[in-house]
Chains A and B, each alone.
Chain A
């Protein structure tokens, strides 16, 4: 019996050793790749939402329709359904008559994007002041954006895994160590292959292979300097990062200005934040093009009300003509899994 225990102990030691060996193995020629498996707008949630949404949650299209048209039977399509769709697709900043419930709490996930601390900023749960995340202020009290079962939370994450259009990857190069490295390069690519999963098909596994999409994804490639401090990757800002964002077969994008990555690295995973300033119109139209009023209704997301909030809370990139801000600070929770990235030769190449 003792012999069996000794063998088991020995096997465990070997396994742990193999893990270390694997860490080294995936960092080949100073390179390691990760593929995105989760991406959602970062929302700081307390258990009963009492801190961030003390007055409850916003109404969605279904609730607003009932309040606007309690006796719809005598009304026409133009006066009701199309009136609401016009407001959705041709939005304005004028009041829709509904009070919009913004986040009222002081805490938020995110980064200090402008290196300033102002009265309008949030505080990180770790105590860091100056957190810029006005998208959170807008969507934090909208049920559809809250985990674990908000319609956006579910749909978008399912799409990140299922839709190859969304297959964003990063490749770190010039890496000496995943623990500390004061100078390396992060290159953003889109992959073109399905993800490697376990036998259930539900869990993405490290060790898969992705070909870089050089056919259609060339314009998505970005390169930025970064460093690793105590296992945390911190990139410099990318001027404009385009995130391919497809859901329900409508290809669209998100445009994040001054985008930066802060990721906890292991040889198997990269987990953390993608933060920057989202272009407001791109943000809004991605939402409503990918999700119909029906889908938004399931998350009590009024596109009409939300657009006004986004414009009101926008805090960067003022329009040179009007002075109105065109971008809004944000953070996205991001999870990535290690992948071997291959670089196919361009079409027509040797």
Chain B
């Protein structure tokens, strides 16, 4: 790693940071309905230009429509300052240097140009972007850059709403059993019908938190943090949590997600479990990305609220509060961590409020963005608001906060 950079521990796992601890992000190229956005490797595309019209990268709306609040709009570079390199900087391994249009030099990792986010305020913040999955109809997202996970070949780590889940490289969930130790497996005979030890190749060697258990001569099972690893025969989908229904069996995470507020509850649904408020109403997150060439996000209180107000209240802030209420924090509640925080919101605008501001609401936020319940959910476990908005809630809309699902990959 070049001088001046470091690794920060964050809710999204280890990330690269600049000398001030600011998380570094990439903007990988992403195929959209009518073309590509993001950056091809080695090619910066985020500049100090304020875009004024839509790009028509999605469907069915055409390009050339005026973007909202142009007079207040920031450029891509104002929101995502490039990580510049000095003339004397030298490339190290996967850390390379690319040239911007104006001749300045920019650091890149794995050939993807690097940026910081003005949304991040202190070392360890990953408010600017996430490693969670985004599909073909999501905006071209900014993704925290970081060192590769130190797992043996044959495994993968996936960012989910409940933590960084360990899987096989074919996305099968990996489990551990309470009755096992690093040197012994309680899963024998009949148990092995449904639980398959994750076997190590002949040349595998212990390393760090990874060791090996010899079940029988030449038959060695991977062990992570003192627990032998298994896959589950009856899992029906990738990244499954179904095996954890068996007493003593658990999914394996390299890092658990920061704990949600104590007043929140978990509710069963037709698909799995959702996060809910203290009364059992499902929690929703708002997602937004503009149909502009720079794919700027519009999901944060500091972004334009035009999109969100349209979706939640037909353009009327008072209707938004009725249809999609903020989750109010009780007076005695405090933020448990930097992922789940309490923020002040002006409900008339949707933007952050100043302390003491009249009418301001003290509400729960996830990654600095308020969360909501839905007026159309009448009973605990209902998720009638999920998928509301453009592109099934991916581009200008709301998705339920899934903690477990057995049917649609909702924790990803």
Contact = CB atoms under 8 A, between A and B. Distances in A.
Interface of A: 61-62, 65, 72-78, 80-82, 85-86, 89-90, 163-165, 192-194, 215-217, 219-220, 244, 246, 248-253, 285, 289-294, 297, 347
Interface of B: 33, 53-54, 58-62, 64-68, 137, 236-237, 245, 268-272, 291, 306-307, 310-311, 313-315, 319, 383-384, 386-393, 396, 405-410
Given A90-B314, A219-B270, A165 B408 contact: yes
Contacts of B391: 292, 294
Contacts of A252: 384, 386-387
A72 B245 contact: no
A293 B66 contact: no
Given A76-B67, A292-B391, 4 more contacts: A75-B65, A251-B270, A252-B384, A291-B392
A294 B33 contact: yes
Contacts of A164: 236-237, 406-407
B306 A165 contact: no
A61 B60 contact: yes
B317 to A, nearest CB: 14
A250 B245 contact: no
Contact of B409 (A72, A74, A192, A249): A249
Top 8 A-B pairs ranked by shortest CB distance? A250-B387, A289-B387, A165-B407, A90-B314, A297-B60, A294-B59, A82-B310, A249-B408
A92 B311 CA distance: 15
A76 B307 CA distance: 12
5 contacts: A65-B61, A73-B64, A77-B65, A78-B306, A82-B310
Contacts of A85: 310-311, 389-390, 396
A74 B53 CA distance: 10
Question: Which residue of B62, B387, B396 has the most chain A CB atoms within 10 A of its CB atom?
Answer: B387
B59 A297 contact: yes
B392 A72 contact: no
A219 B383 CA distance: 14
Contacts of A220: 270
Of residues B33, B54, B61, B390, which shows the largest number of chain A Cβ atoms within 10 Å of its Cβ?
B61
Contacts of B269: 216, 251
B65 A253 contact: no
Contacts of A61: 60
Contact of B387 (A217, A290, A293): A290
A165 B271 contact: yes
A82 to B, nearest CB: 4
A283 to B, nearest CB: 13
Contacts of B306: 77-78, 82
Contact of A293 (B60, B237, B307): B60
A72 B384 CA distance: 33
B68 A62 contact: no
Contact of B386 (A75, A251, A347): A251
Contacts of A194: 236
A192 B65 contact: no
A216 B272 contact: yes
Contacts of B406: 164, 192, 215-216
B392 A248 contact: yes
A219 B270 CA distance: 8
B74 to A, nearest CB: 17
B386 A289 contact: yes
Nearest to A242: B270
A87 to B, nearest CB: 9
Contacts of A75: 65-66
A108 B268 CA distance: 40
A77 B66 contact: yes
B408 A78 contact: no
Contact of B315 (A81, A86, A253, A290): A86
Contacts of A215: 245, 406
A293 B390 contact: yes
Contacts of B68: 76-78
A290 B392 contact: yes
Contacts of B389: 85, 89
A250 B407 contact: no
B314 A244 contact: no
Contacts of A193: 236
Contacts of B272: 216
Contacts of B54: 77, 81
A86 B389 CA distance: 9
Contacts of A347: 245
Nearest to B307: A82
B268 A72 contact: no
A255 to B, nearest CB: 11
A289 to B, nearest CB: 4
B270 A250 contact: no
Contacts of B319: 90
A293 to B, nearest CB: 6
Contacts of A244: 270
A61 B33 CA distance: 16
A259 B137 CA distance: 36
A61 B60 CA distance: 8
Nearest to B269: A216
A202 B244 CA distance: 31
A194 B61 CA distance: 37
A84 to B, nearest CB: 8
A72 B270 contact: no
